[in-house]
Amino acid sequence: MSAQGFMDEFIGGTAENAVHNRERLWRSAPSGDYVIGMEVEPTPWRRAVRLQNIRRIRPSRCGEGSLALDWLTALARKHGTWIVGQAEPTGHRWMHKRQLKQWYARHGFDVTRTGELLYRPESKR
């Protein structure tokens, strides 16, 4: 169980974004299209990765962001990897920061008042 195993599977389950070299594209099973862009990178800690950003790459309100985050947290549980990050609206700001923090909390993240994120898979079994 390690962040490296998580990263290997994350890269295998996503596609490279030719326009944004740090972002990986996630394909939605319902639509079959690449709909979500995610920036995930290893941290100095062997058990954690940093979620830099998750965003829609096409207009939709079909819950595909939630599906992508569910996929990401399932990988974290499988590999025993923590996910850290910061809830910050990006792009067209479909969600305000308060809404974004609530969205992460609904998906099992601990969220601080300032928006720091922590997903601990061992507490989600």
- Report the DSSP pairing between strands 110-111 and 82-86: unpaired
* Extents of the domains making up the chain: 3-123
Kindly list the distances between the CA atom of residue 125 and the CA atoms of 1, 6, 15, 46, 75, in Å, as whole numbers in the listed order.
15, 17, 29, 21, 13
Stated pTM of the model? 0.89
Tokens standing for 93? 């700001």
Model pLDDT, residue 95: 75
Residue 115, sorted as left (phi over 0), alpha (psi -120 to 50) or beta, turns out to be: left
- 3-123: CATH number: 3.40.630.30
DSSP assignments along 26-89, one per residue: EE-TTT-SEEEEEEEEE-SSTTEEEEEEEEESS---SSHHHHHHHHHHHHHHHHT-EEEEE---
How large is the average pLDDT for residues 95-122? 92
Model pLDDT, residue 124: 59
How large is the average pLDDT for residues 75-96? 86
